[in-house]
Structure 1
Amino acid sequence: MDFKQLRAFLTVCDTGNVTRAAELLNLVQPAVSRQLRLLEEDVGTELFERERHGMVLTEAGKALVGYARRAMLELDRARAEISGSSTGISGLVTLGLLPSTCDLLSSPLLKTVAEAHPGIRIRIVTGYAGTLAQWLESGEVDVALLYGAERSSSIQVTPLIEEALWVLGPTSAKLRKNQPVTLASLAGKPMILPSTSHGIRTLVDHACAVSRVELTIAAETNAMSVQRSLAIGGHGLTILPAISVAEDMARKTGSAAPLSDPRITRTIVLALPANRVVGQHVRRVADLLVGCVQEATRRGEWFEGRWLGA
């Protein structure tokens, strides 16, 4: 097994097609097929089902994907560190951001890192807190922003921001910033919420249990963009962090109000792995990320966010 075989395997996995993979790898199709055959001979089983409409991973192939991606990521990290600036800190840092924070933080962080440490290369991935926590534990992510609830013995966290949950709906709902909506008033109304595995859903379900409120779930989705569009489209109300409703309020594409009685908040934390050594380049990026979060809060760009850091 070598890196050429793993690269071919992952490219075919991503494209589902040997011909397309060969184009992306700048190889002829037989060369890619040969790399796959050698890899399958090495592991002793087929990794793909050769179907009419493309290449489909077998169970063995699905098992190999995670290991292969981590192996290639480690190689990328090594290359970035070796080929980086000889006079400064260098390396590849994979940063995990929540969907609600990515647009706000990506640009200022990249600018700050480029100015302070031009030898550091940033890779940004997005996902929900549970997924990011898993990636952080497995080594696929170096540093991440998570909800405070996503803690484990293999992750060290630093609280950064507390933000309240708000109710979002269409403009016809006439929700107002200065008129909080009680949890009890949502009973009987159609609600668009994340699935039960999502951190915000856990917070909402707990509040409902304590307050003895039963919500009517019209739809569930783990895509924040879908959650927003369904609510704005009039299919029901939804509950999101304040930062996620700010744009709809500013553009007047939807209406929103803070949730009250009880007031539900989530805490955004900086998360680093506790199960492995954290490189100096990762710590520098983590420090700069904290600075960007603090600055966004200071400027009021993090809508209704309360800074918790020192």
Structure 2
Amino acid sequence: MQTPKATGFQLDIAADLHKWRTFLAIGELGSLTRAALFLDSNQSLLSRQLNALERECGARLFTRTGRGVELSEVGRRIFPQVRALLADAEQLEREIRGEARELTGRVTLGSLPSIGHPLVGRLFTEVRSRHPGVHLKILEGSSGQVEEWLADARVDIAILYRYGASLPEHEQALATVDSYLIGARGDTLTTAAEVPFASLHELPFILPSAPNGLRTALDAMARQERITLAPAIEADSLPLQKLLVEQERLYTVLPLHAVWQEMQERKLQAARIVSPSLQRSVSMAMARQKGPAKAVSAVAALIVQIVDEMAQRGMWRPSTPE
């Protein structure tokens, strides 16, 4: 009977997979700074890890450029093998931890405040009920900030407003929202269900400052319609906008879901802007090469479901006709 023999693997520089995770992140993002953000680390630590890895390999893995770093000839040659190695290691870890049976991991969502406020509470409840092993992290910011977080892979999922008929590639339309003129309780202009865009001429507004997607669209439409938008004050804070509309009887322009609670409490009024209307899409985008894939997909599916249910309540309209 032949005696069984153990496989004679001899590992040296491939023994520590964390340093190869650093190599992969830098190679994909082309920047130590972006890689540090992606890995929740710091640039100096990644630089030391990269230097140590290059010493162990006896070759330069990257070349420095004016805009960051790029893979050297050696780096490009081994990059696919390193990616495959880490993918196999991640699959093994998931099987050991039982992720195939129960979803686990942290999913980071980046959103605008006006979208996040009505969505996040319900999302947290659903995730905790259906996937208790999944931990949510929420980041709120301006459109520019959310897009930057998405590009840097600081978020797994981004919820954004988009203007225009088409969406960027790889984004999913969730809903269509109309713009409303928001006024204080008892205001005569916003008592009606609809208000012509021309009625916004020289109203005392509180509006976000440029650059801002809504502000840019409003200013462009005002020029087109030959009216003057006159902000009495500019503020990017959504709570402040709503507070000053209520207390100082200013006006602002928001989607209906952003003032849903205040309307239920009869603190604010809303009239849909028409002739012409100002519409935007709520879209969802997911970062590539980030987060536990199954958990991210599960959270994204819950977001779609919740947005559809909110459409049934009248907060916005479905992205496609029913």
TM-score range, shorter chain: 0.5 to 0.7
Write out aligned runs for 1:90-239 (5 A). Answer: 90-149=104-163, 156-176=170-190, 178-234=192-248, 236-239=250-253
- The number of aligned residues is 239
- Give the conservation status (yes or no) of the 8 Å contact 2:127–2:134: yes
Residue 307 of structure 1: aligned partner:
318
- Give the conservation status (yes or no) of the 8 Å contact 2:182–2:190: no
The whole-number CA distance in structure 1 between the counterparts of 2:318 and 2:155 is 24
Q: Which moves more between the two structures, 98-107 or 191-200?
A: 98-107
Alpha-carbon distance, 1:93 to partner: 0.6
The whole-number CA distance in structure 1 between the counterparts of 2:244 and 2:228 is 21
Which consecutive segments of 4 or more residues in structure 1 shift more than 6 A?
Answer: 64-67, 80-84, 150-153
> Residue type of the partner of 2:161?
Y
Give the one of 261, 268, 271 matched to 1:257: 271
> Residue type of the partner of 1:307?
P
Residue 261 of structure 2: aligned partner:
247
The whole-number CA distance in structure 2 between the counterparts of 1:227 and 1:184 is 22
1:290 aligns with 2:304: yes
Residue 72 of structure 1: aligned partner:
40
Alpha-carbon distance, 1:65 to partner: 8.6
The whole-number CA distance in structure 2 between the counterparts of 1:73 and 1:103 is 29
The whole-number CA distance in structure 1 between the counterparts of 2:175 and 2:191 is 20
- Give the conservation status (yes or no) of the 8 Å contact 1:94–1:140: yes
Q: Cα deviation per residue 1:188-215 (whole Å; 9 max; x = unaligned)?
A: 2221111121111122112112212211
Distance 1:84 1:130, change over 3 A: farther
The whole-number CA distance in structure 2 between the counterparts of 1:291 and 1:284 is 11
Name the TM-score, length of structure 2 as normaliser.
0.65
Q: Cα deviation per residue 1:172-195 (whole Å; 9 max; x = unaligned)?
A: 423445442222122122211111
Q: Cα deviation per residue 1:19-59 (whole Å; 9 max; x = unaligned)?
A: xxxxxxxxxxxxxxxxxxxxxxxxxxxxxxxxxxxxxxxxx
Distance 1:198 1:276, change over 3 A: same
Structure 1 unmatched ranges of 5 or more:
1-63
The whole-number CA distance in structure 2 between the counterparts of 1:266 and 1:127 is 18
Alpha-carbon distance, 1:111 to partner: 2.5
Alpha-carbon distance, 1:152 to partner: 8.6
- Give the conservation status (yes or no) of the 8 Å contact 1:148–1:159: no
RMSD: 3.1
The whole-number CA distance in structure 1 between the counterparts of 2:290 and 2:34 is 21
> Residue type of the partner of 1:246?
W
The whole-number CA distance in structure 1 between the counterparts of 2:191 and 2:122 is 28
Distance 1:216 1:307, change over 3 A: same
Alpha-carbon distance, 1:257 to partner: 1.3
Alpha-carbon distance, 1:112 to partner: 2.1
Distance 1:86 1:188, change over 3 A: closer
Structure 2 unmatched ranges of 5 or more:
1-31, 43-89
- Give the conservation status (yes or no) of the 8 Å contact 1:148–1:267: yes
- Give the conservation status (yes or no) of the 8 Å contact 1:85–1:119: no
Distance 1:90 1:132, change over 3 A: same
The whole-number CA distance in structure 2 between the counterparts of 1:179 and 1:281 is 41
The whole-number CA distance in structure 1 between the counterparts of 2:103 and 2:41 is 19
Residue 61 of structure 1: aligned partner:
none
Alpha-carbon distance, 1:165 to partner: 0.7
SS in 1 for 2:248: coil
Name the TM-score, length of structure 1 as normaliser.
0.68
Determine which structure has more spread, i.e. the larger CA radius of gyration: 2
Alpha-carbon distance, 1:68 to partner: 5.1
- Give the conservation status (yes or no) of the 8 Å contact 1:113–1:285: yes
Q: Cα deviation per residue 1:120-158 (whole Å; 9 max; x = unaligned)?
A: 2111121222211110110111002101249996x6211
SS in 2 for 1:283: helix
- Give the conservation status (yes or no) of the 8 Å contact 1:169–1:234: no
The whole-number CA distance in structure 1 between the counterparts of 2:208 and 2:199 is 20
- Give the conservation status (yes or no) of the 8 Å contact 2:163–2:279: no
Alpha-carbon distance, 1:167 to partner: 0.9
